[in-house]
Chain A
Amino acid sequence: MQLTLKIWRQKNASDKGGFVTYPVKDVSKDMSFLEMLDVLNEGLIEKGEDPVHFDHDCREGICGTCSLYINGKPHGPLQTTTCQLHMRSFSDGQTITIEPWRAKAFPIVKDLVVNRSAFDRIIQAGGYVSVGTGGVPDANEIPIPKNIADLAMDAAQCIGCGACVAACKNASAMLFTSAKISQLALLPQGQVERKTRAEKMVAQMDAEGFGACTNTGACEAECPKGISITNIARMNREYFSAVLSSENI
């Protein structure tokens, strides 16, 4: 395959940045998208040019590090992570536009790399259980109905890649935050800090400068882990009931 890549290049956070077009030859349709970029970068390094910087780690679709906005969609045309996207999803001679996640809360570090520590700070605000839970309990010692466990596990699938923010027209982080609130609110271990957690995590999400939700459903449609917007409704319930009933003034 031969491709034309239109890639966002930006030296650092304060650089203005712009698109640079690169032709790539000899791309196999069995390559992953990141391997195709590796080929491009090898060529750039041989020519003595600065390779294109992009985030990646496990390349197995479980770490949430890769983050490319490909042809107008986070993680490209399939509902998966960029590392699990293969070149067979593209056609010979195609022009592919690659952009970084765009959000005020995700400042660009370099090229296609963005700083997603805002997500870490939302978790730090309350996405944990700090009360002593003792040693590993025996199976079924704490009874949790199967359907509730399933909902909590579905929410816990979120890998924090930020595709929801990238896809949302408002750069809203509600799908991420709601998944992290839900996974604990649904389980008995999360009850002690339930109200404070919802209040603090929503407050941190707002403080980071993420947008509000318009319920377009774009986040759910693009999430590589299929996190449902029913979590956003649950977050709204958790938040409103928390502010109405908690002791926090």
Chain B
Amino acid sequence: MSWVTKTLNSTLGKKLLMALTGLFLILFLVVHLVGNLQLLLPDEGEAFNKYAESMATNPFIRVVSIGNFAFILLHVIYSILLTRHNRKSRPIGYAESAASTNSTWSSRNMGILGTVILIFLLVHLKGFYYEIKFGEMPFIDYEGVSYKNVFAIVAAAYSNVLYVAFYVVCMGFLAFHLSHGFASAFQTLGLNHVKYSPLIKKVGIGFSILVPTLFALIPVVMYIQSL
């Protein structure tokens, strides 16, 4: 085994990959949110459709998008590897546990939270990414140029109350996942410092509330608009 594979196969190496991919996905959430918030502009989707077109054609975005999928996959694979390793480390559990007195619920249940987020992601990718890329799409003209009307697909999906409810609930799970994951990633990278760690923790909590709330707001507002 080379020193690289040896390092990445160590418990610390696996955690490093979780932290780095996690931080990238956190960054992706911000970019995705900023784009999606254009759905709420009062222009019947013009800005959003033009944005969607540029995202689909920009070569830089396409490369980053492949990286994004790879990082999601790595994050999932390494979480499974780590969970299996951790389970094996305690083959017989305790009869009684007072874990709630020494740690937060979300920190102990990142796997469950992550699984729900993965299910959400699959539904989300099937509903939008796959449909937009490979499905039959309506088109719309702006200044004589034809664009895929992604806004129409999104608006149709968000007129379904069950779909909206599913989105909102899943964003709740994302919030709890981020509430631990954000600061945890910095700790794993070794970035624990008396000056910065309190700030990182506060930003993490703020991020975990703000970003999922704004994401959840989009389907809710669009559902109300559809009534």
Contact = CB atoms under 8 A, between A and B. Distances in A.
Nearest to B104: A216
What is the size category of the interface that chain A forms with chain B?
35 or more
Contacts of A205: 11
A171 interface: yes
B23 to A, nearest CB: 14
B103 A217 contact: yes
Interface in A7-23: 8, 19
Contacts of A3: none
Q: Is the interface of B mostly helix, strand, loop or mixed?
A: helix
B99 A72 contact: yes
A111 interface: no
A169 B110 CA distance: 12
Interface in A74-105: 97, 99, 102-105
Interface string B87-103: 01111111111110111
Contacts of A170: 86, 89-90
B85 A212 contact: yes
Contact of A216 (B16, B96, B108): B108
Contact of B98 (A71, A232, A248): A71
A234 interface: yes
A211 B89 CA distance: 5
Contacts, number: 130
B160 interface: no
A172 B89 contact: yes
A6 B96 CA distance: 11
Given A222-B102, A239-B12, A171 B190 contact: no
B107 A249 contact: no
Given A72-B94, A97-B95, A221-B102, A104 B89 contact: yes
Interface of A: 6, 8, 19, 69, 71-73, 97, 99, 102-105, 167, 169-172, 174, 202-203, 205-206, 209-218, 221-222, 229-230, 232-237, 239-240, 243, 248-249
A243 B90 contact: no
B38 interface: no
Contacts of A172: 11, 86, 89
Interface of B: 2-3, 7, 10-12, 14-16, 82, 85-86, 88-99, 101-104, 107-108, 110, 180, 183-184, 187-192
A174 B188 CA distance: 11
Given A202-B12, A240-B12, A248-B3, A73 B102 contact: yes
A210 B89 CA distance: 5
Nearest to B186: A233
A99 B93 CA distance: 10
Contacts of A243: 3, 7
A221 to B, nearest CB: 4
Contact of A99 (B12, B85, B86, B94): B94
Contacts of A234: 190, 192
A72 B98 contact: yes
A209 B14 contact: no
